[in-house]
Amino acid sequence: MSTPQDSGIVRYRLEVSYKGAAYAGWQIQPNADTIEAQLLKAAAGIGIRDAKIIGAGRTDAGVHAQAQGALLTGISTIPGDRLAYAMNTRLPDDIRINRSAAASTDFHPRYSALGKIYTYQVWLGEQASPFYAEYAWRFHCDPDMKLMREAADILTGSHDFNAYKSSGSSVKTTVRRIDDIFIEREGPLLTLRFQGNGFLYNMVRILTGTIVQAGTGKIPIEQVRRSLVSRSRGDAGITAPPQGLCLTRVLYPEDPEWDSQKHSEIL
* Residue 126 CA: distances (Å) to CA of 100, 138, 141: 42, 10, 9
CA dihedral in degrees (150, 154, 156, 159; nearest 10)? -170
Residue 153 annotated in active site? no
For residue 191, give every residue at least 6 positions away whose Cβ sits within 8 Å of its Cβ, in sequence order, or none. Answer: 119, 120, 121, 122, 182, 183, 184, 185
Determine contact, residues 140/156, Cβ cutoff 8 Å: no
What counts of helices (H) and strands (E) characterise the chain?
6, 10
Q: What is the spatial distance between Cα 71 and Cα 35, in angstroms, rounded to a whole number?
A: 14
Catalytic residue among 60, 142, 160, 180: 60
Active centre residues (catalytic): 60
